[in-house]
Structure 1
Amino acid sequence: MEFEENRAAKPFSWTLIKTIFVIPYHRWQARRLRSCTRKILSRLSDAQLKDIGLTCEDVRRL
């Protein structure tokens, strides 16, 4: 018998776990961070945005 034939079956695949839980969580986290950033930047005045090198249009596209 070969070594692989004697091994017990793996209970789950990490790829499956990452696909179901980890990747969607990271995407949700990125969307939430963009949303919070957009909310903070939208409260700034035009002069404040100009100081950091952005325009109102940049904030809308963010």
Structure 2
Amino acid sequence: MAEPTLLGRAQGYPADDWLLVVLAGMRGANPDLMLGDICRRLDVTRKTSSHGRSL
């Protein structure tokens, strides 16, 4: 029914782009968020980079 390429794994984002995707999602969900608000929310969740550093 579906093409085999549609049933395979989805392409991931490059390692350095995941934070941009998170930021864009947060801003898309609430366009009124300011950068400081986003930083405070990320600080609460303690997002870490792919290298293990806290952001």
Larger Rg: 1
Quick check: which one's helix share is greater? 1
